[in-house]
Structure 1
Amino acid sequence: MNLIAVDKYKLLFCVIPKSGASSWKYLLMKLSSNSTEIKGGAHDPEVLNSHKITSMKKGDTVWDVAKRYKDYHKVISVRHPLDRIISAYRDKMLDHPERPMSRSPIKTMLKRRKSAKITIDDPRFANIPTWEEFVWFVTHTPARDPHWRKYYDLCHPCVIEYDSIAKMETLESDVEHVLDQIGAPAITIGHTNESKGKNLNKTSTDYLKDINTTGSMDVLWNHFSKDADIFGYSFSPENLKTICEIKDSEGRCC
């Protein structure tokens, strides 16, 4: 269960990694505890609990879950699925090659493929899969890691009737809307977890071009197309651009 509750404002938030989750958690901790600064990681349950954020767990009673579901304002935050998976690769593979996640189970899976060739010049990245190998892993193995699990598996948008859908593309205005809906004071959301590693000059289009000639692009898009359809995202194969289909009155993604 990926829901966290802010009882002070009767809000339920579904956590989707690489879709503004850290920024939202820091904002909600500030609101719930009236703190101006948050010490500790946004994903640490003890830190969340100390700032009056409740992580919903499988062991919670049906009454606890049902009451919050009925009475609370339910929020989900998303971004274009292709931008999200690119962000996951850059953050979890390139930015942190020292972490076990960068080597296993992905490295183990790739070793089973005769075509696996992990060749990044810097010796620190010797065990890091290439972008195309990462795409193969994500699209051909069961998704256990939440950083690349599908939205409908993590937050069940076809079952839970969310009151607000926030998007990374319009994060500031969407945060303003949610805070207004729950009667919380206006507060600016900060941006966290911005990539600091290699290839910062590469855009999403650059990454998609890298896999377009091998057929991996079609496989990747098909893998996440349901998430895209649910939240109004599309993809242009002609120019390899990620697109938002649902626009507000000012022509922005909404």
Structure 2
Amino acid sequence: MGTSRMFRIFVVLGSAFMILLIIIYWDDVGASHLYLHTPVSPGPKIPHPPPQQRPQTSRSPSFLSDIDAFVNQFLEPGTGEPTDPAPVDTSNQSEKAEERYIPRQEWKIHLSPVAAELRERQEQRRRLLQEMCANDSVVFPGKNRSFDDIPNKELDHLIVDDRHGIIYCYVPKVACSNWKRIMIVLSESLLQDGVPQRDPLAISRDLVHNSSMHFTFNKFWKRYGKFARHLMKVKLKKYTKFLFVRDPFVRLISAYRNKFELRNEDFYRRFAQVMLRRYAKQPTPPASVDEAFAVGIHPSFSHFIQYLLDPQTEKEMPFNEHWRQVYRLCHPCQIQYDFVGHLETAEEDAEHLLRQLRVDNVVEFPTSHRNLTASSWEADWFSTVPVEARRELYKLYEPDFRLFGYDRPDSILNE
């Protein structure tokens, strides 16, 4: 009995010692050594061997996978899997799937330098963020807290790709569907016929917005337990971090158009019915979105703005992610982003970013042909909103305007 107890104590102590060694190794070696075939740190691009010279052999387990396996064996049954299982198409997989592995398009690596204008644009945007975060005249909730003070539930928009050392904070209504597609391709989290999906546009919207397809910071607790916050900070230090933003008022118009002018049962029940009861004198709105659209009932843009300004809204629940402020989604004063893209310059910024990430040989940013909401429409959309309400709305979103360099919309606020 004594020997058995001593053996269990020895195993526990040995396991704790091994975890400590892993953490120390992580800090010393750094994320850039986890995947030797895909450098993380910026530097001169070196052409890879042509595809035909690359042996198509199975990949060896990564160091991160070893950490996962080691840490997870100490989790109690039912405490959660290391990461949510991704939906996989297993209908046509075979033992020869590896033979059908599609080589990366090495020929597409850009060897010419990025234009000085684009580099300066990024420097200005990063510098502005730093200045605004240090400027006492820009005040908003949570500005001065530390990263450790951010609740875990507020880290769910930070998607991590360990394969290439990338962290993307997605902002809904800012091309986030296509950037999520790119993150799925890069992380190789979706298989098609046994091989990683390489075409972003072939990934359906349902999969794109399926949380199981993305490894986000708020999932670290399930995987790493008490070491989660430490590993988050290691990756924030060593990985390339980016986000895309757009004019805050135009983003609100886009959110309204997408969620309330189109048939969306979930948003109708959760939000539209509330707006109709409170602001449209509809005490008993139609039970479903189909019934509402059949009789031409839906909240107006003015009702939507009233909903955002109503103190009761945030008392009931935090803003939905589609109209939540970017500073609340991505924490730009706690996370030093390496790249800040604007939707207004999306194509140039996307090409620049993919080259900076050194993955422009792996994936291209999908060109969108949808009817995008334009800044020139602002005056028409806000014409039904009282001027005082417009000014209150600006105060609500002013931090986003100033943090990301968008001009104060005086033509709308001073009418």
TM-aligned CA distance change 1:114 to 1:31, over 3 Å: closer
- Bigger CA drift: 84-93 or 202-211? 202-211
Distance 1:219 1:125 in 2: 32
Check conservation: 1:103, 1:128, Cα contact below 8 A: no
How many residues end up aligned between the 2 structures?
Answer: 228
Check conservation: 2:171, 2:245, Cα contact below 8 A: yes
Task: Report the equivalent of 1:216.
Answer: 389
Distance 1:194 1:230 in 2: 28
Of residues 40, 55, 59 in structure 1, which corresponds to 2:204?
Answer: 40
Please tell me the residue identity of whatever aligns with 2:182: L
TM-aligned CA distance change 1:54 to 1:88, over 3 Å: same
Distance 1:224 1:4 in 2: 24
TM-aligned CA distance change 1:125 to 1:4, over 3 Å: farther
> How far does residue 169 in structure 1 lie from its aligned partner after superposition?
0.6
Taking only the aligned residue pairs, the percentage that are identical comes to 26
> How far does residue 14 in structure 1 lie from its aligned partner after superposition?
0.4
Please tell me the residue identity of whatever aligns with 1:230: L
TM-score scaled by length of structure 1? 0.78
1:141-166, Cα deviation, whole Å (9 max, x unpaired): 21431000111111111111111101
The 5 Å alignment of 1:99-110 reads 99-110=265-276
TM-aligned CA distance change 1:77 to 1:67, over 3 Å: same
> How far does residue 239 in structure 1 lie from its aligned partner after superposition?
6.2
TM-aligned CA distance change 1:116 to 1:227, over 3 Å: farther
Task: Report the equivalent of 2:358.
Answer: 183
Distance 1:193 1:56 in 2: 32
1:8-44, Cα deviation, whole Å (9 max, x unpaired): 2100000111111111111222333361253333111
Task: Report the equivalent of 2:378.
Answer: 204
Please tell me the residue identity of whatever aligns with 2:204: G
Task: Report the equivalent of 1:251.
Answer: none
Task: Report the equivalent of 1:64.
Answer: 231
Of residues 135, 150, 157 in structure 1, which corresponds to 2:305?
Answer: 135
Task: Report the equivalent of 2:319.
Answer: 144
SS in 1 for 2:396: helix
Task: Report the equivalent of 2:345.
Answer: 170
TM-aligned CA distance change 1:93 to 1:194, over 3 Å: farther
> How far does residue 194 in structure 1 lie from its aligned partner after superposition?
3.9
Task: Report the equivalent of 1:225.
Answer: 398
Distance 2:174 2:301 in 1: 20
Higher Rg of the two aligned structures: 2
Distance 1:222 1:86 in 2: 17
1:190-220, Cα deviation, whole Å (9 max, x unpaired): 2569459xx99x9233102232x45322222
1:49-76, Cα deviation, whole Å (9 max, x unpaired): xxxx422225531233122111100101
Distance 2:267 2:387 in 1: 26
Of residues 86, 89, 94 in structure 1, which corresponds to 2:261?
Answer: 94
Indicate the RMSD between aligned Cα atoms, in angstroms.
3.0
Task: Report the equivalent of 2:165.
Answer: 10
Check conservation: 2:276, 2:298, Cα contact below 8 A: no
Please tell me the residue identity of whatever aligns with 2:294: R
Answer 1 or 2: which has greater helix percent: 2
- Consecutive unaligned residues of structure 1, counting only runs of 5 or more, are 241-254
TM-score scaled by length of structure 2? 0.49
Check conservation: 1:93, 1:102, Cα contact below 8 A: yes
Of residues 230, 235, 240 in structure 1, which corresponds to 2:408?
Answer: 235
> How far does residue 232 in structure 1 lie from its aligned partner after superposition?
0.2
SS in 2 for 1:235: coil
SS in 2 for 1:160: coil
> How far does residue 115 in structure 1 lie from its aligned partner after superposition?
6.2
TM-aligned CA distance change 1:191 to 1:22, over 3 Å: farther
> How far does residue 188 in structure 1 lie from its aligned partner after superposition?
3.2
Task: Report the equivalent of 1:26.
Answer: 181
Distance 1:191 1:88 in 2: 20
